[in-house]
Amino acid sequence: PLNVGIHGAEIYIPKKFVNQTELEQFDGASAGKYTIGLGQLNMSVCDDREDINSICLTAVSSLLEKYEIDPASVGFLEVGTETIIDKSKSVKSVLMQLFVESGNHNIEGIDCKNACYGGTNALFGAINWLESGYVEEGKEWAIVVAADIAVYKSGSARPTGGAGAIAILLGRQAPIVFDRGVRSTFMDHVWDFYKPDLHSEYPEVDGPLSNTCYIKAIDKCYEGYLDRLEKYQGIVTPTLKIGDYYLFHCPYSKLVQKSFGRLAFNDYLRNKDAIPVPDAIKEHPNLTREKTYADKNVEKIFMDIVKADQKARVDPGLIASRNCGNMYCGSLYSGLCSLLSETPAESLAGKRIVLFSYGSGLSSSMFSASVQQDGASIAALKRISQNIRLADRLAARTKIEPKVYDEIMALRQATHNVKSYTPVSSVKDVFPGTWYLVEIDGMFRRKYARA
């Protein structure tokens, strides 16, 4: 077997963040709304020195350096993002400047777009390429970039913003191998979140509808995933215990907790003997998927049932999301970085990681990967953890006041899509190795430099 999968990962986190408790106070929201109600601690902030190109440049150059990848050995590079600053020129083409010196211009892949799902489409593209007959000797690496700057107009959605970029190194004979045959996808036409106004960075969003769509996508993808486990892997009556770790697209961590409870609800509907439930569930008159999207009672009961499992199987993947916020396309893969960075290699070896990707509009998939347990794979896992060092990097950030965050948002709004512009934010307080925007010339061409 080709054992296609993950060899490495790198995450770029902006240095600036705003604290959600302080934001609650500043916004006049009730205490605990963002921290307990949404489950968020901090939110990453990008000023006018950063755009989608700069954060992707940082993630990819850092990945190449940390894993000592010869740029000439990369045969596939694809980007998933919904942070659109150009309707034609791709982020991928901008990233090609990292390959000029090596003389490598023969790299397949381009940008993928649909809300928070583009990174997953890029990942599937990389897996498909690695399994295909188009991989050439000496050019066997694939890189996937999943990144966004998530910003909302002021109001209830604003605390669910965030930013970040993840670059994933993929290849054959990997320490983390994608499970074949069990991918499950659900797509539909809905107006829950979209960005029709290209003059603005902000989406049009129907928050409650987007939450319902997300839960519906969980139901559909999980059902398809379990069906395929039965069909192709011969697993009898699988339940959520099949996944040792779960990574979810995370707009805010409370939604992930609800979603994990929803898996248990699905387990129960699939097999009434799967888990013990209270009488309130047994006697519930409307216990169907469709009639329970907004049922707080059912939601709470199943969240309680999975509490211990959530701590063990879900929380290790939420560190970056809770501290950086929604990275849209990057969100799910920031979960991967959280898990691989902060979980000991020995605890990961031999385990199955289940991933759920959701992009409004809507597109969603559930799939999984199995961590190998040979010595070389454990060594590779240790190296990944040392390279990411998520906790250290979060601790090295700079907290800004909500008032400053507000000013930055106003600046981004005023300078969105302008030409002949030199950014005004300082480049002093950024992490070493960060790419930043130097200027936008009179023909909208953007120039970048590296700190």
**From the CB of 370, what's the least distance to ligand ACO, in Å?**
27
- Known binding residue 66? Answer is no
Give the alpha-carbon dihedral of 305, 321, 28, 51, to 10 degrees: -160
Closer to ligand ACO at the Cβ: 326 or 334? 326
**From the CB of 418, what's the least distance to ligand ACO, in Å?**
26
Q: What is the CB neighbour count within 10 angstroms for residue 347? A: 15
Whether 221 is catalytic is: no
Question: Is 160 among the residues that bind ligand ACO (CB under 6 A)?
Answer: yes
**From the CB of 95, what's the least distance to ligand ACO, in Å?**
25
Count of residues interacting with ligand ACO (CB under 6 A): 23
Question: Is 187 among the residues that bind ligand ACO (CB under 6 A)?
Answer: no
AA identity, residue 413: Q
365, 120 Cβ separation under 8 angstroms: yes
Give me the DSSP letters along 106-146. --B--EE-BTBTHHHHHHHHHHHHHHSS-PBTTB-EEEEEE
Q: Which of 13, 38, 169, 381 binds ligand ACO (CB under 6 A)?
A: 38
* Annotated catalytic residue, options 10, 249, 324, 329: 249
Distance CA 356, CA 364 (A): 7
253, 321 Cβ separation under 8 angstroms: yes
Q: Which of 52, 95, 149, 157 binds ligand ACO (CB under 6 A)?
A: 157
Distance CA 182, CA 361 (A): 23
Question: Is 146 among the residues that bind ligand ACO (CB under 6 A)?
Answer: no
Closer to ligand ACO at the Cβ: 205 or 353? 205
**From the CB of 207, what's the least distance to ligand ACO, in Å?**
2
Distance CA 303, CA 39 (A): 14
Closer to ligand ACO at the Cβ: 245 or 248? 248
Nearest Cα to Cα of residue 329 among 75, 40, 62, 11: 11
Closer to ligand ACO at the Cβ: 157 or 174? 157
Distance CA 344, CA 373 (A): 13
Closer to ligand ACO at the Cβ: 156 or 420? 156
Distance CA 61, CA 186 (A): 34
- Known binding residue 113? Answer is no
Question: Is 116 among the residues that bind ligand ACO (CB under 6 A)?
Answer: yes
Distance CA 399, CA 103 (A): 41
Residues from 331 through 370 that contact ligand ACO (CB under 6 A): 360
Whether 46 is catalytic is: no
Whether 105 is catalytic is: no
Collapsed DSSP state (helix, strand, coil) of residue 112:
strand
Q: Spell out the residues 6+ positions from residue 210 whose beta carbon is closer than 8 angstroms to its own.
A: 192, 193, 251, 360
Distance CA 116, CA 334 (A): 12
Q: Which of 2, 21, 26, 33 binds ligand ACO (CB under 6 A)?
A: 33
Question: Is 30 among the residues that bind ligand ACO (CB under 6 A)?
Answer: yes
- Known binding residue 426? Answer is no
Question: Is 123 among the residues that bind ligand ACO (CB under 6 A)?
Answer: no
**From the CB of 409, what's the least distance to ligand ACO, in Å?**
15
Crossing angle of helices 20-27 and 402-415, in 10° steps, is 80
* Annotated catalytic residue, options 46, 56, 112, 116: 116
**From the CB of 307, what's the least distance to ligand ACO, in Å?**
15
Instruction: Tell me which stretch binds ligand ACO (CB under 6 A): 24-32, 72-80, 231-239, 271-279.
Output: 24-32
* Annotated catalytic residue, options 10, 24, 82, 299: 82
39, 322 Cβ separation under 8 angstroms: yes
313, 256 Cβ separation under 8 angstroms: no
**From the CB of 272, what's the least distance to ligand ACO, in Å?**
26
Beta bridge partners of 136: 139
69, 9 Cβ separation under 8 angstroms: no
DSSP 421: B
Q: Which of 214, 222, 367, 436 binds ligand ACO (CB under 6 A)?
A: 214
Tokens for 239? 């339940």
Question: Is 31 among the residues that bind ligand ACO (CB under 6 A)?
Answer: yes
Question: Is 205 among the residues that bind ligand ACO (CB under 6 A)?
Answer: yes
Distance CA 166, CA 164 (A): 7
- Give how far Cα 24 sits from Cα of 29, 161, 389, 399, 440, Å: 5, 14, 29, 15, 35
**From the CB of 208, what's the least distance to ligand ACO, in Å?**
6
Instruction: Tell me which stretch binds ligand ACO (CB under 6 A): 1-9, 251-259, 430-438, 442-450.
Output: 251-259
* φ, ψ of residue 307 in degrees (nearest 5): -50, -50
Residues from 76 through 115 that contact ligand ACO (CB under 6 A): none
The binding site for ligand ACO (CB under 6 A) comprises 30-33, 36-38, 116, 156-157, 160, 193, 205, 207-208, 210-211, 214, 251, 254-255, 326, 360
Binding residues for CoA are: 210, 254, 258
Catalytic residue positions, numbered: 82, 116, 249
